[in-house]
Amino acid sequence: MAKIGLFFGTQTGKTETVAEMIQKEFGGEAIVELHDISSASTEDFAPYDALIIGCPTWNIGELQSDWEGFYDELDDIDFASKKVAFFGMGDQIGYCGQLSGCPGDTGRKNRLPGG
């Protein structure tokens, strides 16, 4: 199985915890490499044919701050030959109307030219 790059942002640690759970379910570090988006670069996406993006929704539908800082850089990544999956975390009680909207925000970048 080819390696999968899982890129996540986290404010409270919950998205990182779920990223680790996904990594374990897929077979561990030999299959899924974790990348905290706060310290990632666009070049980190290149070696993977498959990506998983973990993006929590913050407050009333805002991008989590690490993804907000990286959002414009998504335009510089060639997604044309990559399979991409998204997962999101959010507060279903306090912000049920905006729950997990941010994976959609990052997903729209994937539909740009090259995606």
Give the domain CATH number at 35.
3.40.50.360
Q: Is the pLDDT of residue 83 over 70?
A: yes
Is the residue at 115 inside a domain? no
109 token code pair? 């970048």
Mean pLDDT of the chain: 81
Please report which confidence band the pLDDT of residue 87 belongs to, taking 50, 70 and 90 as the band edges: confident
- State residue 61 phi and psi, 5-degree precision: 95, 15
Is the residue at 61 inside a domain? yes
Domain residues for the domain of 52 are: 4-110
How many domains is the chain built from? 1
Q: pTM above 0.85?
A: no
